[in-house]
Structure 1
Amino acid sequence: MTTELRVLRPEDWDRWFSTLELAFGGVREAEEEREFDRSVTECERSLGVWDGTDVVGTSGAFSFRVAVPGGALVPAAGVTMVSVAPTHRRRGVLTAMMRRQLDDVRELGEPLALLTASEPSIYGRFGYGAATQQLYADIDSARVRLAVPPGTDDVRLRLVPPGDVLDECEALYARQVPARPGMLARTPGWERQGLVDPESERSGKSPLQCLLAEREGELVGYARFRTKPDWHSLAVPDGSAILHDLEAVDPAAYAALWRYLFDLDLTSKIVLRNRPVDDAWQHMVSDIRRCAPQARDSLYVRLVEVGAALSARTYQAPVDVVLDVEDAFCPWNAGRWRLTGDTKGASCERTTDPADLALSVRELGQAYLGGFSLASLAAAGRVRELRGGALAEASVAFGSAVAPFLPHGF
Structure 2
Amino acid sequence: MAPQLRTLEAREWDTWYRTLERAFGGPPTPPEARGLWQSLTEHDRSVGAWDGDECVGTSGAFSLRLSVPGAALVDTAGVTRVSVAATHRRRGLMTTMMRRQLDDVRQRGEPLAALVASEPDIYGRFGYGMATQQLSTTIDTARVRLEVPAGTGTDGVRLRYADPVAALTACEAVYAGQVTGRPGMPARPRGWERLAVLAPQGGGDGGSPLQCVVAERDGATVGYARFHNTPQWDVSGARGMIVLRDLEAGDPGGYAALWRFLFEIDLTSTLVAQNRPVDDAWQHLVSDVRRCERQLRDGLFVRLVDVGAALEARAYRTPVEVVFEVEDAFCPWNEGRWQLVGDAHGASCTRTRAPADVTLPVRTLACAYLGGVSLTALARAGLAGELKGGTLARASSAFGNEAAPWLPHSF
| TM-score, normalised via structure 2 length | 0.98
State how far apart, in whole Å, the 2-side matches of 1:373 and 1:355 are.
19
CA RMSD, 1 decimal:
1.0
Asked if 2 retains the 8 angstrom alpha-carbon contact of 1:77 and 1:114, the reply is yes
Q: Which residue of structure 1 aligns with residue 127 of structure 2?
A: 127
In the aligned structure 1, how far is the partner of 2:259 from the partner of 2:202? 28
Q: Show CA shifts across 1:176-232 (max 9, x none).
A: 100000000000110101011454963301111111111111111111111111112
- Residue aligning to 2:180: 178
Preserved contact between residue 202 and residue 230 of structure 2 (Cα < 8 Å): no
- Structure 2 distance, partners of 1:139, 1:198, is 22
* 2:202/2:208 contact within 8 Å kept: no
Unaligned runs of 5+ residues in structure 1 are none
TM-score, normalised on structure 1?
0.98
1:47 is aligned to 47
Alpha-carbon distance between aligned partners in 2 of 1:130 and 1:362, rounded to the nearest angstrom: 9
How do 1:162-241 and structure 2 match up within 5 A?
Answer: 162-199=164-201, 202-233=204-235, 235-241=236-242
Question: What CA deviation, in whole Å up to 9, does each residue of 1:265-289 have, x standing for no partner?
Answer: 1110110110000000000001001
What letter is aligned with 2:137?
A
Letter in 2 for 1:183: M
Q: CA deviation at 1:299?
A: 0.1
C-alpha contact (below 8 Å) 1:32/1:197 kept by paired residues: no
**Residues 95-145 of structure 1, C-alpha deviation per residue, up to 9 Å, x if partnerless?**
000000000001111000000001110000000000000000001111001
Q: 1:143-185 deviations in whole A, cap 9, x for unaligned?
A: 0011113221221000010111111111111111000000000
1:262 aligns to what? 263
SS at match of 2:342: strand
1:203-352 equivalences in 2 (<5 Å): 203-233=205-235, 235-352=236-353
Structure 1 counterpart SS, 2:315:
coil
Which whole-Å deviations, capped at 9, do the CAs of 1:368-408 have from their partners, x for residues lacking one? 00010000000000000010001110000000101000011
Q: Secondary structure at the match of 2:258?
A: helix
Residues 1:20 and 2:7 are matched in the alignment: no
SS at match of 1:164: coil
- Residues 179 and 201 (structure 1), Cα distance of their counterparts in 2 relative to 1, 3 Å cut: closer
Q: Hey, what's the Cα distance between the residues in 2 that align with 1:172 and 1:238?
A: 32
Matched residue, 2:30: 30
CA deviation profile, 1:231-279 (whole Å, cap 9, x unmatched): 123x511111111111111111100000100000111011011000000
Residues 32 and 198, structure 1, Cα contact 8 Å, conserved in 2? no
- Which residue in the other structure is 1:138 paired with? 138
- Offset from partner CA, 1:334-383 (integer Å, 9 cap, x none): 00000000001000000000000000110011000001000000000000
Q: Tell me the CA shift for residue 29 of structure 1.
A: 1.2
Moved more, 368-377 or 148-157: 148-157
Aligned residues of 2:227 and 2:243 also touching (Cα < 8 A): yes
Change (3 A) 1:305 1:238: same
SS at match of 1:188: coil
Contact 2:339 / 2:350 at 8 angstroms: preserved in 1?
yes
Give the fraction of aligned pairs with identical amino acids, expressed as a percent: 62
Which AA in structure 2 matches 1:252? G
Whether the 8 Å contact between 1:65 and 1:73 is mirrored in structure 2 is yes
Asked if the contact 1:46/1:60 (under 8 Å) is kept, the reply is yes
Q: Deviations over 1:288-335 (max 9, x none)?
A: 010011111000000000000000000000000000000000000000
AA aligned to 1:296 is R
Equivalent-residue separation in structure 1 for 2:66 and 2:256 (angstroms): 27
Contact 1:238/1:268 (8 A) holds in 2? yes
In structure 2, list runs of 5 or more residues that go unmatched. none
- Answer with 203-212 or 335-344: which moved more: 203-212
Within 2, Cα distance between the matches of 1:96 and 1:189? 31
